[in-house]
Homo-oligomer: A and B are copies of this chain.
Amino acid sequence: MPDMSVKICGISFKNPVIAASGTFGFGMEYSEFYPISRLGGISCKGTTLVERMGNPTPRIVETSCGILNSVGLQNPGVGRFLSSYLPRLKKQDIVVIANIAGNSVEDYCEMAERLKDSQVDMIELNISCPNVKQGGVNFGVLPESVAEVTAQVKKRSDKPLMVKLTPNVTSIGDIAKAAEGAGADALSLINTLTGMRIDIKSRRPVLRNNTGGLSGRAIFPVALRMVREVYKCVKIPVVGMGGISSWEDAAEMMIAGANAVQVGTANFHDPFACVKIIEGLGSYTDSLGLKSITELTGTLSEW
């Protein structure tokens, strides 16, 4: 059996498969199926300074090979995250990534401060959030605002900082370089693609929020292309996600340049998806005669 562990900005993961933020709660739910210590890590549900109710329902609708969600960051707030969810999660022997969100640079910074000295292993900065200061445009779509929020959080944080990129941009490479330049220790991508569905009977959007984020197998080719693009632009580690539903998909992601992967929507389809992907990646790495799965990363030879 090859060595399945990977190291990302100093943090050791048992294996390169991480549960994606928002699809795995704070880990307790899926531990009713299997011990989540089998996973490389978990990226927790996006957390904000104060509790958020999220959007009204319906919050989810199925599309061809995908889903749209508009949960809207319902979460208990960083306080209860630290006091009640994190301790339970930490008992599971698993790398814990806190996924943080905010409406202003100050929000993000305060979040980072609150996580200092906590048992959180790493911070994932979710920058697909409206920047109230800039008229609601996402932080994540402008290199300047990405750099700004990254640099500020980096200053106020003692944890490795992974910036999570949104795919709804013209040049993901430019955004990646901005984050790297501002001090990001790693990048993760992709977040969801903005989409919509309409109920032709009522002629209303199916989602109460009108639009939602597209995830699942449908977006895999776009995610793979973007991971490759980013891998070629930066030197920091890249965590790839978006539509991964099989070990073959995960292998493609790593070959394209990802040091690790996150798996989201696939968990809804098959609660054992992550476990199967870990196993499949293991046999694949073995069959290639590699000693460590890290040898897979970025081995694509383009035409």
Segment at the interface with B among A4-12, A28-36, A96-104, A191-199: A191-199
Q: Give complex CA distance A210, B224 in Å.
A: 11
Segment at the interface with B among A72-80, A127-135, A149-157, A215-223: A215-223
Q: Which residue of B lies closest to A221 (CB)?
A: B195
A52 within 8 Å of B (CB atoms): no
Tell me, rounded to whole Å, the shortest Cβ–Cβ distance linking A290 to chain B: 12
Copies in the complex: 2
Tell me, rounded to whole Å, the shortest Cβ–Cβ distance linking A174 to chain B: 10
Verify A196–B224 contact, CB threshold 8 A. Answer: yes
Q: Give complex CA distance A169, B171 in Å.
A: 8
Q: How large is the interface on A (under 10, 10 to 19, 20 to 34, 35 or more residues)?
A: 35 or more
Q: Give complex CA distance A78, B274 in Å.
A: 52
Q: A195-B225, A198-B256, A248-B200 are in contact. Are A64 and B299 (CB under 8 A)?
A: no
Segment at the interface with B among A43-51, A84-92, A118-126, A201-209: A201-209
Q: A195-B224, A196-B225, A255-B200 are in contact. Are A65 and B301 (CB under 8 A)?
A: no
Verify A302–B168 contact, CB threshold 8 A. Answer: no
Tell me, rounded to whole Å, the shortest Cβ–Cβ distance linking A88 to chain B: 35
Q: Which residue of B lies closest to A167 (CB)?
A: B193
Q: Give complex CA distance A68, B196 in Å.
A: 22
Q: Give complex CA distance A168, B303 in Å.
A: 23
Given contacts A210-B303, A218-B221, 6 further A-B contacts (CB under 8 A): A64-B243, A64-B245, A198-B252, A204-B303, A218-B218, A218-B219
Q: 6 A–B contact pairs at CB < 8 A?
A: A63-B221, A65-B218, A195-B224, A196-B224, A198-B224, A204-B303
